[in-house]
Amino acid sequence: MTSLPAGDPSSATALIDAGTPSRDPARAAIALAVGAVALRNTPIMLKVLESRADPAPAIALLGEAFDMLEEDLQEERFFVAVRRGYWAAPQGSPARKIAAALIQTLDF
């Protein structure tokens, strides 16, 4: 898998759009791709999640990816970036709301 172009969320958006309504076996493969994007380009994933009207299905897909992945160190880096973003974002901002939803849903 190639990495996303810097600043271009369209590939991550397409993966989430395809993955949220899907069923296995396709869902597992798409979830893994979403997880790879989140681990390799956390700012893009956060930007995509912030742009969604209802981020809950996308966060659930990301949670499935993290359950399947065995990249503990990379996952921890993602979680650190999300926590850092939570505290850096103004209260009530989309960035803070997404970070809070990730923290709560993914239980980290």
pLDDT tens for each residue of the chain, 108 residues long: 445 445 678 999 999 999 999 999 999 999 999 999 999 999 999 999 999 999 999 999 999 999 888 777 888 889 999 999 999 999 999 999 999 999 999 877
Kindly report whether the global pTM for this prediction surpasses the value 0.85: no
Give residue 4's pLDDT: 44
Distances (CA, A) of 20 to 61, 67, 80, 108: 6, 16, 25, 22
Give residue 65's pLDDT: 92
Q: Residue 44 in contact with residue 8, Cβ under 8 Å?
A: yes
Give residue 7's pLDDT: 63
